[in-house]
Amino acid sequence: MNREYHKWKSGALDREMEMLVFGHAGVPVVVFPTSCGRFYEFEDRGMVHAVSAQLNRGQAQLFCVDSVDSESWYAEDIPGSWRIARQIQFERYILEEVLPVIRSKNLSPHLAAVGCSFGGYHAANIALRHPETFTAMLSMSGAFDICRFLRGYYDEDCYLNLPTHYLPNMSDPWYLDRYRHNSYVLATGVQDMCWDENEKFAALLRQKGIPVQLDVWQDGAGHDWPWWQKMFAAYL
């Protein structure tokens, strides 16, 4: 399997960022790690191995990015305005720095965002904010009720980065038309602490006429890597 390591000084974040690439062709997939996770998480946790057959067949190519959650949503010692500003810088890093690397290696017209738990939030948020760029999203056990991380701080930038807040008010036909042509999958489990959040998020999408596939895995499926390995292999 093709495996590449990349590292550079990010202009958007003013710090070094690292990324791993797996696979040689197929649909490019931006992989967001879990809360404060690292770019090597999907490899270490068996997620890459779980989809090795698909990667070797050239069905998909993974671009596993680093996170700055510890400097944004989880940075409890800094003001809320700084935390949301860091989130916006992170998005700039993805759009202005990671995407050009992806396009230099993969000319597919499609692009997917994938994440587990808090990574599911990142995948959903960027896919919904930029439906012209991200044509698909897979969230496994996604955590979407994240307003609590701001500890009472709230401004327009917060609103525009909380899908559960901006989706109910979405009326722009430009966005809605693109949403309705893209693919959105929410996977959760009967023992998943985020099951209810996924049900509510799917309901928000459906209220706007946006097709969404919500799968609640049975057999004791919970919020953990063994289940996410099975989900990833099933949906990729």
- Listed in sequence order, the DSSP H helices in 94-168 are 99-105, 118-129, 156-159, 163-166
Task: Render 24-39 in DSSP notation, one character per residue.
Answer: SSSEEEEEE-STT--T
Q: What is the mean pLDDT of each run of 10 residues along the chain (236 residues)?
A: 97 98 98 97 98 97 97 93 96 98 96 98 98 98 90 93 96 97 98 97 97 97 97 97
DSSP 3-state of 118: helix
Q: How many domains does the chain have?
A: 1
pTM over 0.85: yes
Q: Is the dihedral of CA 170, 176, 178, 182 positive or negative?
A: positive
Q: Which domain holds residue 119?
A: 3-235
Nearest to 48 by CA among 101, 126, 139, 114: 114
**For residue 148, what is the domain's CATH number?**
3.40.50.1820
Q: What is the pLDDT of residue 45?
A: 98
C-beta atoms surrounding 39 within 10 Å = 21
Give the separation between CA 192 and CA 220, rounded to whole angstroms: 9
- How far does CA 211 lie from the centroid of its chain? 18
